[in-house]
Homo-oligomer: A and B are copies of this chain.
Amino acid sequence: MFPKNTWYVAATADELTDKPLARTLCNERMVFYRNAQGQVTALEDFCPHRGAPLSLGSIVDGNLVCGYHGLVMGEDGKTVSMPNQRVQSFPCIKRFAAQERYGFIWVWPGDAALADPALIHHLEWADNPQWAYGGGLYHIACDYRLMIDNLMDLTHETYVHASSIGQKEIDEAPVTTKVEGDSVVTSRFMQNVMAPPFWQAALRGNGLADNVPVDRWQICRFTPPSHVLIEVGVAHAGKGGYDAPAEHKAGSIVVDFITPETDTSIWYFWGMARHFNPGDSELTETIRMGQGKIFAEDLEMLEQQQRNLLAHPDRALLKLNIDAGGVQSRRILQRIIASEQPVAIIARSAS
């Protein structure tokens, strides 16, 4: 169960080449390509002629040409032409609203008529030269909500990522969870701790000493349908922590776009937007490699957790204070999903 009338990340912009891209999102097999104007287009990956996947075809003059018998599909889901055929009465295929923004391809799996580009999640760090971004994509066999839980409770860093970003103090620092409209914010501040290896490297990347105590912060923000953006960073201790001047700290935003593929699998777009030393592309790549390795440590855990939960569908899980971020996020999702259901008309017999 996932919201459908909302924007999801479907792909990174550089995945769209001169060939069509097939991707299943929210249980729909879609095909993505750029039209003649270079604008991203998303259609059902199903040729109305004989059901061949259009993604095996090619893009000619901005139209998708089926690779089986040459049907030319328009970006509106209506057949444009087919050799020696009149196509007016051909059935349409589903068109999905799609947009390119911030280096990502966004798709609206629900009713395209409702798709307002203004609703695409605003990313303050994208297209901003004071920030640098690097990221990647993982496919994981788990319900998208298990990944939201994961990211809204960073105590797991101590255990899953012990050698990189985990440290005992995460467990020990109190955590605060607030619901702000449809968003959930979970915050944790650690004072006067030693930075773990990943953050030592970040300090060095910003030309700062890495062997002195720091103040560390983690501010996780869930926004529907499944974005988790996490402000993270360290400042030399006593300089103001999260609010310290730029020259005393290294701060970033961990970027997590979690798009359901099926009910039990996701496309996980992860990355880091860095607010220091943005011109250093080598540093961007070093961080990207490091983050990719760290985030890969979650995969087996999430997939095996999913297997365990499927084997025990009736077992209630604990909802501790550390789980509040995930619990509140799921509550918001439930409300949105319910609001998308058709209204049932209840007939009552007169008494």
Contact = CB atoms under 8 A, between A and B. Distances in A.
Interface of A: 29, 45-46, 48-53, 56-57, 65-70, 82-85, 90-91, 149, 153, 155-156, 158-160, 171-172, 174, 300-301, 304-305, 307-309, 311-312, 315, 317-318, 320-323
B171 A68 contact: no
Given A50-B149, A83-B171, A172-B83, A68 B318 contact: no
Nearest to A65: B159
29 contacts: A29-B311, A46-B312, A48-B318, A49-B317, A49-B318, A51-B305, A51-B308, A51-B317, A52-B301, A52-B305, A52-B308, A53-B304, A53-B307, A53-B308, A67-B160, A67-B301, A68-B160, A68-B305, A69-B155, A69-B159, A69-B322, A70-B155, A70-B159, A70-B171, A82-B320, A83-B155, A84-B321, A84-B322, A85-B321
A50 B305 contact: yes
Contact of A304 (B49, B56, B159): B56
A321 to B, nearest CB: 8
A160 B51 CA distance: 15
B309 A51 contact: yes
A68 B317 contact: no
Given A51-B309, A85-B321, 9 more contacts: A48-B317, A50-B318, A51-B308, A52-B308, A56-B300, A67-B301, A68-B159, A68-B301, A83-B155
A220 to B, nearest CB: 15
Chain copies in complex: 3
A102 to B, nearest CB: 31
Contacts of A315: 46, 51
A231 to B, nearest CB: 21
Contacts of A66: 159
